């Protein structure tokens, strides 16, 4: 299996519902480093997995829907606990849609899976990995 990873970051605000979240129930900020790893069993005729420039551009486009926003006020996310794990799955769904729509170039048709990893700090991170899927979380 081949893989290619692009990386960017976002800054968000959000709060959590549930006593188990303690002080994180209050509105707070978070900065995440976001890694998107694209996977395919073979390379295309140019020996590429995917166009790295298009992958970087599309990751940024997806992250722009979250960056510098209060996620509690975003209609698609309102009422949800936008944990690191949840956001990894959400981003996976958005990038899956971009792949299916061909926004990552012709080589993207060979991408069979992705891993989206969000780093909260050098000491803590979460990820979602799976096949390219039909719906966003």
pLDDT in tens, 69-89: 999 999 999 899 999 999 999
Angle in degrees, 0-180, between the axes of helices 52-63 and 84-100, rounded to the nearest 10: 130
Domain boundaries along the sequence of the chain:
2-10+32-71+80-131
- The pTM assigned to this predicted structure is 0.93
More confident residue, 10 or 105: 10
The predicted pLDDT at position 134 comes to: 60
For 6-46, what is each residue's pLDDT tens digit? 999 999 999 999 999 999 999 999 999 999 999 999 998 88
For 116-136, what is each residue's pLDDT tens digit? 999 999 999 999 999 987 654
Residue range 2-10+32-71+80-131, CATH number: 3.30.479.10
The predicted pLDDT at position 105 comes to: 86
In sequence order, what E strands does 42-101 have? 69-70
Which single residue is written with the structure tokens 């061909």? 102
Strand partners, 7: 35
The residues, ordered by sequence, that sit 6+ positions from 22 with a Cβ below 8 Å of its Cβ are: none
Token pair belonging to 13: 């605000």
């Amino acid at each position: 299996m081949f893989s290619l990873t692009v990386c960017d970051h976002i800054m968000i605000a959000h709060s959590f519902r549930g006593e188990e979240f303690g002080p994180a129930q209050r509105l707070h900020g978070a900065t995440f480093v976001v890694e998107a790893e694209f996977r395919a069993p073979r390379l295309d005729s140019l020996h590429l997995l995917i166009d790295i420039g298009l992958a970087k551009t599309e990751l940024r486009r997806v992250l722009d829907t979250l960056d510098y926003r209060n996620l509690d006020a975003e209609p698609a996310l309102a009422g949800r606990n936008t944990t690191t794990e949840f956001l990894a799955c959400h981003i996976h769904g958005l990038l899956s849609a971009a792949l299916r729509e061909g926004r990552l170039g012709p080589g993207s048709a060979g991408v069979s899976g992705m891993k989206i990893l969000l780093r909260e700090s050098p000491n803590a991170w979460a990820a979602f990995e799976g096949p390219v899927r039909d719906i966003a979380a």
